[in-house]
């Protein structure tokens, strides 16, 4: 545990005010001091685990922000950021003394706690959503939170080991990516190093030692390269600055963990930075470096012409020296460098007009991201879903792809064509059906290759598919897909509920249009349903029975009296199509097909579950009174496919399964699943295939029977057959 620093080394209010008074107007400086006084009184007699007075923490947070030359409102909120959470003061108290803006900033960083959360993790997730929502109104909320987290990391050694690991892991998961999205790479790097030391102290130490050995081993080689580059760049651009970039142990650790390659002290790439005055000079230096060393193929990125999403600008190129040493150069103007290190705060830290102009790129990027955060918040179904989407959205960028117009897009490693489509435009994502990589057609689940040009193929009639959630990883794509599916599910439930209720009324020679509206209103009031849509949803979700509701609605009417003697077999069937939406589920125990006699029952999770009328699973698992009468509606069977099952029994000779599969290919029949079992002489195989209808299946069975070595073929029965020991073909 680190020793407690002497009081003379503690940062005090006088030091903060000396910094603040150098750049803030007198009135703002007075407000900052008043905030310190209130915070000092509120936290009086409270001691941190380090042994320091608690007020040292908000003072340090304010100092971190004062070093960025942040405004008076931000500094006041930094000094008061724990007052609502830890003392009796309220948001209204702060608003009365310092105005509503400061009060909202403080409330934005105040964590949620209370009995309404099941555990600390749930409270943390809800607090994160609250902070990010507040950030969309005023991004300074996140600056205060980042400064707060940075100082907590600096004093993390005073906490228990379990707390150190929890806070360090949370930092790497949320706050490091958050700093990156704000373009604040200097803070990101500091947080990474501190969190890494506390999360994996031994690994951190080993990597630091490896880095020291790497520097010692390559000292002369690096000096020769640097001297060569210095001479060439200064001759081209007098006053240019060239230096070796210190490597980050945490990013090396992440690389080792991801790719499984050990740190090679002899072959590690050298990182060099070159700073000049103008963008034109950046390109001139690039030419100079490529004249010195051989550039690596596909190793050049122009982030000046096409800045990254966080506003980062630079020319990046990787070259090889005659001794085969790989060197990665990053060429920037000094302003680009400042903006890259301090992000959105660079315009305050370096308040000259040129920096402000360059920081506008970062501000524009931030504004776009804030719009996306608002959108994720609106579409998320819960705080946990928002938290998951935000984590996906803030992944470190690994992949760069280009639009056909040459615009660069950034993606996390593993992103697919659907992620790309949503990144271009939400509507394109909703309508995408395919993609082309460098002109070659690829499936939507294909991962984005680095440096490729990607074009999305769309169809105005296409819609998002549930399967996309299996391979999309960006928060934006997943959020939009889930939201669309939720909307469709509600729409499908409404339609299904209406159909079921209408069917029940038709069985009593009535309809929704014919029922007495006063009786219908009374029915809704009796069951505390707001409107007809609420009624339909309740029916589709299995909360109310359409038959009982219809009887209650028509119980006293002539229509009900006339129909009361109607036999069950005469019930009006519910007509369904193969494309009736997400809530029509064709059971996999019996695989019903068009032209099969069918029955159904209402499954609250899956919707209407359709079975063949002789399905043993339906008979065994559903009460007879819950079985619904259904029938196939007319539809275009040539454009629709249904799953069906067949069983083949064949002699166990080489090639028999291949010949059956070859026949399916010739018939353009897609195979979904194949399962084989049996002894050395006879093999029995279950084939799950896509067919158009019952006639199509019968034709397939007839042709498979003529495949050499096939003994018997039959349609798959209900799942009860699978429970038999031995052969599928037992009756």
The predicted model gives 532-540 an average pLDDT of: 81
Would the pLDDT of 79 be above 90? yes
The pLDDT score that the predictor gives to residue 722 is 42
What one-character DSSP code corresponds to residue 173? I
The pLDDT score that the predictor gives to residue 636 is 61
Q: Residue 638 corresponds to which tokens in the numbers above?
A: 């040539």
The predicted model gives 86-104 an average pLDDT of: 90
| pLDDT single digits (tens) 146-187 | 999 999 999 998 888 998 999 999 899 889 988 888 888 899
- The whole-angstrom separation of Cα 18 and Cα 66 is 10
Q: Residue 254 corresponds to which tokens in the numbers above?
A: 């992440």
CATH number, span 641-723: 3.30.70.260
Annotated catalytic residue: which of 86, 137, 699, 722?
Answer: 86
CB atoms within 10 A of CB 99: 13
| pLDDT single digits (tens) 13-44 | 888 899 999 999 999 999 999 999 999 888 88
| pLDDT single digits (tens) 288-321 | 999 999 999 878 988 898 887 777 889 999 999 9
Would the pLDDT of 572 be above 70? no
CATH number, span 7-154: 1.10.3210.10
Q: In DSSP terms, which residues pair with 377 in a beta bridge?
A: none
Beta carbons within 8 Å of 157's beta carbon, 6+ residues apart: 1, 2, 164, 198
Long-range contacts, stretch 548-557, CB < 8 angstroms, 24+ apart: 549/501, 549/504, 549/523, 550/501, 550/504, 550/505, 550/507, 550/508, 550/510, 551/508, 552/523, 553/505, 553/515, 553/519, 553/520, 553/523, 554/505, 554/508, 554/510, 554/515, 557/510, 557/515, 557/516, 557/519
Distance of CA 153 to the CA centre of its chain: 27
Average pLDDT over all residues of the chain: 83
The pLDDT score that the predictor gives to residue 36 is 92
- Exposure on the CB side of residue 673, measured as CA atoms within 13 A: 9
Q: How confident is the model at residue 564 (pLDDT cuts 50, 70, 90)?
A: very low
- The whole-angstrom separation of Cα 335 and Cα 189 is 19
Annotated catalytic residue: which of 21, 28, 85, 265?
Answer: 85
Q: Residue 160 corresponds to which tokens in the numbers above?
A: 């228990």
Helix (H) / strand (E) containing 244: strand 241-244
Output the DSSP codes for 493-531. HHHHHHHHHHHHHHTTT--TTTS-HHHHHHHHHHTT-SS
Would the pLDDT of 639 be above 70? no
Would the pLDDT of 396 be above 60? no
The pLDDT score that the predictor gives to residue 718 is 66
Helix (H) / strand (E) containing 275: strand 270-276
Domain regions of the chain by residue span: 7-154, 215-360, 366-476, 483-632, 641-723
| pLDDT single digits (tens) 662-708 | 999 888 888 888 988 877 788 899 999 998 888 899 999 999 999 98
The pLDDT score that the predictor gives to residue 281 is 95
Would the pLDDT of 279 be above 90? yes
The predicted model gives 85-102 an average pLDDT of: 90
CA angle 387, 388, 391 (to 5 degrees): 85
CATH superfamily of 366-476: Beta-grasp domain (3.10.20.30)
Helix (H) / strand (E) containing 210: helix 201-217
Q: Residue 642 corresponds to which tokens in the numbers above?
A: 């249904």
Q: How confident is the model at residue 234 (pLDDT cuts 50, 70, 90)?
A: very high
The pLDDT score that the predictor gives to residue 362 is 63
- Among residues 643, 579, 640, the alpha carbon closest in space to that of 612 is found at 643
The pLDDT score that the predictor gives to residue 9 is 39
Q: How confident is the model at residue 74 (pLDDT cuts 50, 70, 90)?
A: very high
CATH superfamily of 215-360: Beta Polymerase, domain 2 (3.30.460.10)
86 is catalytic: yes
Beta carbons within 8 Å of 21's beta carbon, 6+ residues apart: 29
């Amino acid at each position: 545990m680190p020793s407690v620093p002497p009081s003379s080394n503690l940062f005090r209010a006088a030091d903060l005010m000396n910094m603040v008074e150098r750049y803030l107007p007198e009135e703002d400086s007075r407000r900052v001091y008043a905030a310190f006084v209130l915070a000092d009184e509120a936290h009086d007699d409270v001691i941190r685990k380090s042994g320091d007075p608690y007020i040292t923490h908000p003072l340090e947070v304010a100092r971190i922000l004062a070093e960025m030359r942040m405004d008076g409102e931000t500094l006041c909120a930094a000094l008061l950021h724990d007052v609502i959470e830890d003392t009796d003061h309220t948001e209204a108290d702060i608003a009365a003394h310092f105005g509503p803006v400061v009060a909202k900033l403080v409330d934005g960083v105040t964590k949620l706690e209370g009995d309404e959360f099941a555990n600390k993790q749930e409270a943390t997730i809800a607090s994160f959503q609250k902070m990010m929502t507040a950030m969309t109104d005023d991004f300074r909320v996140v600056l205060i939170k980042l400064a707060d987290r940075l100082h907590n990391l600096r004093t993390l050694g005073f906490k228990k080991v379990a707390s150190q690991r929890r806070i360090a892991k949370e930092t790497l998961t949320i706050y490091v990516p958050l700093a990156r999205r704000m373009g604040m790479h200097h803070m990101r790097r500091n947080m990474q190093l501190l969190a890494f030391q506390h999360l994996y102290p031994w690994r951190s130490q080993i990597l630091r030692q490896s880095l020291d050995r790497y520097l010692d081993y390559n000292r002369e080689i690096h000096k020769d390269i640097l001297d060569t580059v210095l001479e060439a760049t200064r001759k081209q651009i007098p006053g240019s600055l060239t230096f070796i970039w210190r490597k980050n142990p945490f990013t090396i650790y992440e690389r080792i963990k991801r790719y499984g390659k050990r740190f090679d002290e002899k072959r590690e790439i050298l990182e060099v930075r070159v700073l000049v005055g103008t963008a034109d000079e950046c390109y001139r230096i690039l030419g100079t470096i490529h004249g010195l060393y051989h550039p690596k193929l596909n190793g050049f990125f122009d982030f000046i012409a096409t800045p990254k999403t966080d506003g980062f600008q630079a020319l990046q190129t990787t070259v090889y020296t005659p001794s085969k040493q790989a060197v990665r150069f990053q060429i920037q103007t000094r302003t680009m460098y400042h903006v890259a290190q301090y992000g959105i705060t660079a315009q305050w830290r370096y308040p000259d007009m040129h920096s402000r102009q360059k920081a506008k790129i970062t501000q524009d990027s931030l504004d776009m991201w804030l719009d996306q955060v608002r959108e994720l918040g609106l579409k998320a179904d819960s705080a946990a879903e928002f938290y998951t989407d935000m984590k996906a959205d803030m992944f470190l960028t690994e992949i760069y792809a280009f639009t056909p117009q040459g615009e660069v897009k950034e993606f996390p490693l593993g992103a697919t064509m659907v992620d790309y489509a949503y990144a271009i435009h939400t509507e394109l994502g909703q309508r995408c059906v395919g993609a082309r990589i460098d002109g070659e057609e690829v499936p939507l689940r294909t991962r984005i290759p680095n440096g490729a040009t990607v074009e999305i193929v769309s169809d105005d009639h296409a819609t998002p598919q549930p399967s996309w959630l299996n391979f999309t990883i960006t928060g934006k794509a997943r959020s939009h897909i889930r939201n669309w599916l939720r909307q469709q599910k509600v729409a499908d439930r409404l339609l299904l509920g209406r159909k079921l209720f209408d069917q029940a009324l038709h069985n009593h020679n009535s309809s929704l249009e014919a029922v007495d509206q006063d009786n219908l209103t009374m029915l809704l009031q009796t069951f505390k349903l707001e409107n007809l849509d609420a009624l339909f949803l309740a029916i589709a979700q299995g909360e109310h029975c359409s038959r009982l509701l219809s009887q209650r609605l028509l119980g006293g009417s002539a229509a009900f009296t006339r129909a009361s003697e109607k036999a069950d077999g005469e019930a009006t069937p519910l007509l369904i199509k193969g494309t009736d939406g997400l809530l029509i589920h064709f059971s996999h125990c019996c695989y019903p097909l068009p032209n099969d006699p069918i029955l159904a029952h209402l499954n609250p999770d899956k919707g209407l579950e359709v079975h063949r009328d002789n399905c043993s699973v339906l008979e065994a698992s559903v009460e007879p009174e819950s079985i619904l009468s259904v029938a196939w509606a007319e539809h275009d069977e040539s454009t629709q496919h249904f799953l069906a099952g067949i069983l083949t029994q064949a002699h166990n000779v080489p090639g028999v399964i291949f010949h059956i599969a070859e026949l399916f290919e010739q018939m353009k029949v897609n195979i979904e699943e194949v399962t084989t079992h049996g002894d050395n002489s006879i093999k029995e195989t279950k084939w799950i295939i896509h067919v158009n209808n019952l006639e199509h299946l019968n034709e397939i069975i007839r042709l498979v029977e003529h495949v050499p070595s096939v003994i018997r073929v039959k349609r798959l029965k209900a799942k009860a057959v699978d429970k038999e020991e031995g052969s599928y073909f037992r009756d």
